Amino acid sequence: MNKDQLYEAFGELIYAVAKADGLIQDEEVTALQDILQQHAWAKDVEWSFHYEVKKDTNIHDAYQRALDTFRDFGPTPEYQYLLDILEKVAEASSGIGHEEAHVIEGFQTDLKTRFLEDLEKGHLIP
């Protein structure tokens, strides 16, 4: 698992949050582009996000693929930055809606649960 795959998974999860209310608003896309301007890995995130938009991927599928990638990659401080991106993108169009908040909160819970389960099973220990 490499960082490119991690950042592509960021794009999948950002897509799931942006699409959670049924429609990706222009303000959300603009916010994502603005947020990512200063990051070297922005191209991977944006490519993945736009790929999912083009495919009109089911948000559950995008969410699960991202979560599986995060589990395979393991813990990283990058997830806190991802949470910041998710919140800023969701806020960009009329604030964070119920559906978007549900996906963000679910991500936090699911990721923590998966890592704790893996730790208990010894999967996160080198």
pLDDT for 8-59, tens place per residue? 999 999 999 999 999 999 999 999 999 999 888 899 999 999 999 999 999 9
Model confidence pTM above 0.85: yes
The domain over range 3-121 is classified in CATH as 1.10.3210: no
Amino acid at 71: R
Please provide residue 123's backbone torsions phi and psi, each rounded to the nearest 5 degrees: -75, -20
CB atoms within 10 A of CB 104: 21
Distance CA 26, CA 72 (A): 32
Q: Is 97 helix (H, G, I), strand (E, B) or coil?
A: coil
> What residue spans define the domains of the chain?
3-121
Q: How do the residues of the chain divide into helix, strand and coil, expressed in percent and rounded to 5? A: 75, 0, 25
